[in-house]
Every structure is written in C-alpha cells, then in structure tokens.
Amino acid sequence: MLRHKYYYGEHPSQWGELFIPEPTSGNHRGASALAGGIAVVIHGGYWRSQYGAELGEPLARDLAAHGITTWNLEYRRAGNGGGWPHTFEDILAGIDHLSEIAEQHDLKLGKVVALGHSAGGHLAVWAAGRQRLATIGTPDADRQLVRGPEETAVHLTGVVSQSGLLNLAAAERLNLSNGAVCNLMGGDSARFPKRHKYADPMSSLPIDVPVYAVHATEDEDVPASLSEAYVAASTASGGAAQLLRVPGDHFDLIDPKAVAYKKCRELVQRLLS
C-alpha cells in the first residue's frame, strides 16, 4: 500500500497518515475510487498524551488492505497541548484537511466514515454532530473552539464507534480512568457546565448521520451503558444510531485478527458502499 504523512497544523501531534490501497492495473487512483470514500481512524487512550496514532495504524493498514483509503488521524491530547478546546479543534481540522489533499490523490469525499475506538469513538460521534454545535445553547463554549466554516468542512457521513465514551456526563460520574473526563475538559462539569455539555455527543442529538455503536461484551474499560444510553437517546429523538454487541474485550476491537474488529470493518464497508 502507499502511505503519505501530512501535517494539518504546526504542533507535532497535528498530522494524519493516508493509507492508499495497492495500485490496481498500475493506477492507485482506481483503487481509491473503488473504496467509494474515505475511512478516518481516530484512536483512543482516554484522550491522554501517552497514547497515540500507533493504536490506529493496524486498523488503517487492514482497511487499506481491504480496498479502503484510510486517514489515520493524530491529534493533541491532554498532556501535550490538547484537552479543551484543542483536542476538539484538531479532530475537526484533521478531518477537514482531507479536502486539502483530495485532488492530489483523487480522494472521493462524498462518503467519509469515521472508525473511532474508546475516546476516539467519543470524538468521532461528536464530530459527526458538528453542524449542531452552534445551536445547543452553549455559545460561550462554541466561541472558544476555533474551526473552519461549515460550508467548506468535510462532513462525516457515518460513524462506527468501538466501545465509545458516547455519554460524557456518565463517564464523568463514573470517574472512568481516574478522572479522564475532567482531565480532558480542564475541570469538572460543576465548574464548566457549558463546556462539558458542548463536548458531549448526547447534546447534539438528533443527528442524521448513521452511527453504529459497537460494544464488546467483555469490555471492562468502558461500560456498555454509555453506548446504550446514546442509542436510546438517539432513537427517542429520531436519530440514526444502532447498538451492536460483539464478543471480546476492549482491545479486541482494535485487533485486526479478532471477530470484534472484523465486524467493525464490515460496518465501515457497509457505510461506504
């Protein structure tokens, strides 16, 4: 496969790596077009700096091996210049950067699907609701987040969340990973209620982007109740989220050899078909 690394900002963590399927008939553009769009891999790690895009690389390689052009996205995390609002800015800017490199690689941006694991699932589903961010009643938080204009944005057309933290308020109440939510947001929701509301995918419902909330049955890192709550709220509001349970633990979801991951790949293919 062909690999190209691009920076979308000046910080060392503001980059993505494009994985393009093997050329077919001597023309890699044909392979790119065959996939029908782009998959954006967003890694997890509870938004902390010690976990990086190396977690997403095996998934990007696998997707490219199955004919899908894939953008493995790195971003600033809490501890290396990220957290509120920069982690969120990077996710949007990193996805939007696909438009900057689209012509060079003949990328098809009509369908852009995110595959996000754990904290990456939270960020992917949050990004899918970007068009509603200015309307959820948190204007101060909205002003704090710098992003490009919506008319030139690259919008996600589907999300596969892999045991994602889709209910940020519940994740804070449960004190998951020793205060990871407060660490991300720069403080708790009592101190920054608007900020927390803005960052919670639950706040943007309903969205018309299809979301597959995949959760591992033996997951001991992220409770299934977070995916369940998101899908229930989406259904109640007329959204397009579905809950799927797969065998395995939290990390089987990012193991290309595991049944749990293979189901996620199948869902990405379905969203891009």
* DSSP SS3 for 228: helix
125 and 230 Cβ atoms separated by less than 8 Å: yes
Average per-residue pLDDT for the chain: 94
Q: What is the CA radius of gyration of the chain?
A: 17
Residue type, 151: E
Q: Amino acid identity, residue 72?
A: N
Show the tokens assigned to 136: 């959820």
What is the per-residue pLDDT across 202-211, written as a single tens digit (0 to 9) for each? 999 999 999 9
- Residue in this structure with the two tokens 């709220």, named with its chain if needed: 233
C-alpha torsion 91→218→265→102, nearest 10: 10
Residue 244: how many other CB atoms lie within 10 Å: 15
pLDDT tops 90 at residue 150: no
User: pLDDT at residue 24 above 80?
Assistant: no
Distance (Å) of CA 149 to CA 2, 18, 47, 96, 229 = 31, 24, 25, 10, 31
Of 31-40, 107-116, 187-196, the range with the lowest mean pLDDT is 31-40
pLDDT of residue 22: 82
Q: How many residues does the chain have?
A: 273
Mean pLDDT of 233-246: 96
pLDDT digits (tens, 9 = 90+) for 68-102: 999 999 999 999 999 999 999 999 999 999 999 99
What values do phi and psi take at 145, rounded to 5? Answer: -100, 115
Contact 48, 78 (CB under 8 A): yes
- Give this prediction's pTM: 0.95
Percent of all residues in the chain with a pLDDT value above 70, rounded to a whole number: 96
> Which pLDDT score, from 0 to 100, does residue 33 have?
41
pLDDT per residue as tens digits for the range 44-61 = 999 999 999 999 999 999
Residue 181 has pLDDT above 80, yes or no: yes
Tokens (6 digits) for 134:
């200015």
- Cβ atoms of 117 and 47 within 8 Å: the answer is no
Q: In whole angstroms, what is the distance from residue 46 CA to residue 79 CA? A: 11
